[in-house]
Structure 1
């Protein structure tokens, strides 16, 4: 009887998703993997096996997502672990990014992810088990990155909805984890994965410096190893008490700690005024 879990992974043709697919297949797991470009996915994985189901999926389409999950269950009889990895970066100041550019980032990074959750939950509820990993970013926990405001906003949304999801699905025996990677050596900072404004404004010199830094200096020199990150996800999926929040990378941990220190400082400095806003409070 097959005991290894069935994984469903979006955005699997590159980066963390691809590393995860390869490691899972090498360890005998059954994997359904999605990409917008099926040929690209098949070429990247180069595995023909009954354990592997490559799927062309548009995560912005509920119908496409629904069909992919149904195909997965039809082939493997179940789905156990879902990894919402599909997404892309967007670099530009809040003023210079257009409404359509900003909304598209939310369409993919947030609403595409929600499409997967909505369509997979009936299966997970019925079997009373499962684990959903939502890949966010350290930029979803701290937004102090000039030029990444909209992208950070999408990932902050992923943090918030995953916390709510974990509370909602606990009664069904289902786990939810929000994953916050730091800089990992993938092609995330290349033009195919990182968008920029069509109409940049000269006034934002600091944003242009950040953009140049990421494309010229950080790209290709990221400290994180996606293979090691994939291994951590596999271990978390097998844990009986997986984390709700999973930060990956020393840089991610440090940035998270910096954010918590800043938050604690603001809380303490303004606590005396915050406490005075209760209706019952009477000035002494």
Structure 2
């Protein structure tokens, strides 16, 4: 791929980082296939322009995803970059969340990106080029937040998927990057992007406090600038050596450092006991 015009396929492009990324790419002369559950919302947020293909897509439906990928290739002749951006937050404690709530969160945040990859990768494989960008969250590496187990689990899964994917597709000339944004000032904390568990348990006061913090104090005050996050993603994709792990924001950097420090502490404290679980050398 050259560093000039590329074909980007972006999910969840009617709002938030997805919309801002699509707008920035179009301004730079790239071509963009943008998906949303609601085509009207997509066209309202990013009016039809040269280089934009607006696609109403149900990411949980294989036929709908295939149709979107096929339409992109038919219109632009290729797919160079896939950005799996669509997703939502699920709040609730492990004890309180139902199987249905967990499964729905995984369906949208993990299995939907898998649907996209299954249909996009054959084109990239034939091209012997491409780049997959999976938008996770800093909770995909630092999950220690009461009441966010489902959301953290989906983002950990997406991060692990990306690492394995990168190893699989390297021989085909395809790159993969997982993005870990910190809190970004979008409408993510709105009711459309955040689901709250139907059932709650009063004894879990830390989880309730965390929900109150996100809804009543952080919304609209997040440190991350979505336009700068979008530009960071573009810069990473066009870089000569794109990163596998991309952290976005000072808070994300700090939390990642804290996680690595915690792992190092546990590793050092239990190193001898851990090593002792192996068979003696030579056996």
Please give the TM-score of this superposition, normalised by the length of structure 2: 0.97
SS at match of 2:105: helix
SS at match of 2:55: strand
> Which aligned pairs between 1:104-143 and structure 2 lie closer than 5 A?
104-143=104-143
> What does residue 5 of structure 1 align with?
6
CA contact (8 A) 2:106 2:154 kept: yes
> What does residue 38 of structure 1 align with?
39
SS at match of 1:142: coil
User: Equivalents in 2 of 1:198, 1:8: separation in Å?
Assistant: 34
- The CA deviation string for residues 58-99 of structure 1, in whole angstroms up to 9 with x for no partner, is 111111111100000000011101000000001111110100
SS at match of 1:134: strand
> What does residue 98 of structure 2 align with?
98
User: Equivalents in 1 of 2:206, 2:127: separation in Å?
Assistant: 51
SS at match of 1:268: helix
> What does residue 213 of structure 2 align with?
213
- The CA deviation string for residues 4-37 of structure 1, in whole angstroms up to 9 with x for no partner, is 1000000001110011011111111110000001
SS at match of 1:133: strand
How far off its partner does 1:281 sit? 6.2
How far off its partner does 1:240 sit? 1.8
Structure 2 residue 176 is matched with structure 1 residue 176: yes
Gaps of 5+ in 2: none
CA contact (8 A) 2:4 2:30 kept: no
> Which aligned pairs between 1:137-216 and structure 2 lie closer than 5 A?
137-216=137-216
SS at match of 2:12: coil
Gaps of 5+ in 1: none
CA contact (8 A) 2:133 2:179 kept: yes
> What does residue 51 of structure 1 align with?
51
> Which aligned pairs between 1:272-283 and structure 2 lie closer than 5 A?
272-280=272-280
User: Equivalents in 2 of 1:225, 1:195: separation in Å?
Assistant: 23
User: Equivalents in 2 of 1:274, 1:174: separation in Å?
Assistant: 37
Alignment coverage as a number of residue pairs: 281
User: Equivalents in 1 of 2:131, 2:239: separation in Å?
Assistant: 10
Please give the TM-score of this superposition, normalised by the length of structure 1: 0.97
Structure 2 residue 125 is matched with structure 1 residue 87: no
Per mean C-alpha deviation after superposition, the further-off stretch among 168-177 and 203-212 is 203-212
Structure 2 residue 15 is matched with structure 1 residue 14: yes
User: Equivalents in 2 of 1:240, 1:123: separation in Å?
Assistant: 22
The CA RMSD measured in Å over matched residues stands at 1.4
> What does residue 77 of structure 2 align with?
77
Structure 1 residues 269, 33: closer, same or farther in 2, change over 3 A?
Answer: same
> Which aligned pairs between 1:235-254 and structure 2 lie closer than 5 A?
235-254=235-254
- The CA deviation string for residues 195-249 of structure 1, in whole angstroms up to 9 with x for no partner, is 0111111221211111000001011000000000110111111112100000000
> What does residue 223 of structure 2 align with?
223
List structure 1 segments (4+ residues) > 3 angstroms apart after TM superposition.
none
How far off its partner does 1:50 sit? 3.2
How far off its partner does 1:3 sit? 4.8
SS at match of 1:277: coil
User: Equivalents in 2 of 1:3, 1:234: separation in Å?
Assistant: 12
